[in-house]
């Protein structure tokens, strides 16, 4: 049995977890989920009934891990050999921007995509403030450094980078030069390429099946 069972859908946030699994060098078995008939094991593991859901078959028993940012952090922590966990001097940036991307950045982008506007005078109550403020902060960060923690790629780049990469591809993040350059750096990663190729092929095969 593989060390991890990975419940995913190719065109989903599961791409983030797959990239993290590849960066960590983790041994996993995928279970492709059909939205219409989700396996009972998925619901049992994750009452949100969402993907990605990861089950770690640890020697002392199974552990369930959900939420892409948590999956990234967990894999970096457990796979020390991949050297994606932050060193002491990188930890402030690592946790700060990982949580920023999973909270304010994701809320800002999803709110924008849904057409939800923060009512006039209420931005102080919204964790992301405004979409523009959140994007400005990300642009400032990525204009001054190559990676989230500075000079070195860490697992925080898988999560923050996925938000930027996905947002550029789908137009939910503006194509600012700092974002485009960061995305170019991300796309050179072997882990990015091998993980994305799997989902790309699965998406292509599913579309071919629908059309033929």
Task: Please report which helix (H) or strand (E) contains residue 104, including its range.
Answer: none
* Phi, psi for 182 (deg, rounded to 5): -65, -45
Window 4 to 23, contacts with ligand GSH (CB under 6 A) = 12-13
| Per-residue exposure over 172-181, b if at least 16 CB sit within 10 Å of its own CB, e if not | ebeebebbee
Please give the Cα distance from 151 to 169 (Å, whole number).
25
Q: Which stretch in 23-31, 48-56, 72-80, 116-124 sits in contact with ligand GSH by CB under 6 A?
A: 48-56
Q: Which is nearer to ligand GSH, 12 or 123 (CB)?
A: 12
Establish if 51 lies at the interface with ligand GSH (CB under 6 A).
Answer: yes
Q: Which is nearer to ligand GSH, 101 or 135 (CB)?
A: 101
* Residue 102, SS3 per DSSP: helix
Q: What is the Cα 15 distance to its own chain's centre?
A: 7
Establish if 96 lies at the interface with ligand GSH (CB under 6 A).
Answer: no
Q: Which is nearer to ligand GSH, 52 or 86 (CB)?
A: 52
Which position's Cβ is nearest ligand GSH? 50
Please give the Cα distance from 192 to 28 (Å, whole number).
16
Window 55 to 74, contacts with ligand GSH (CB under 6 A) = 67-68
User: Which member of 31, 32, 50, 166 binds ligand GSH (CB under 6 A)?
Assistant: 50
Q: Which is nearer to ligand GSH, 50 or 57 (CB)?
A: 50
């Amino acid at each position: 049995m593989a060390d991890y069972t990975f419940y995913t859908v190719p065109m989903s946030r599961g791409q983030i977890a797959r990239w993290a699994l590849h960066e960590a060098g983790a041994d996993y078995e995928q279970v492709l989920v059909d939205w219409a008939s989700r396996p009972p094991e998925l619901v049992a593991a994750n009452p949100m009934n969402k993907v990605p859901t990861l089950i770690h078959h640890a020697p002392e028993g199974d552990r369930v891990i959900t939420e892409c940012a948590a999956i990234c952090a967990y894999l970096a922590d457990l796979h020390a050999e991949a050297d994606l966990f932050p060193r002491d001097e990188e930890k402030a940036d690592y946790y700060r921007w990982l949580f920023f991307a999973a909270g304010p950045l994701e809320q800002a982008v999803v709110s924008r995509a849904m057409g939800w506007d923060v009512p006039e005078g209420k931005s102080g109550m919204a964790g992301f403030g405004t979409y523009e403020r959140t994007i400005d902060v990300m642009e400032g960060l990525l204009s001054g450094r190559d990676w989230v923690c500075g000079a070195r790629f860490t697992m925080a780049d898988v999560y923050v980078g996925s938000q930027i990469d996905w947002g550029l591809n789908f137009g939910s993040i503006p194509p600012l030069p700092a974002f485009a350059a960061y995305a170019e750096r991300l796309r050179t990663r072997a882990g990015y390429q091998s993980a994305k190729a799997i989902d790309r092929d699965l998406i292509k095969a599913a579309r071919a099946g629908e059309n033929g």
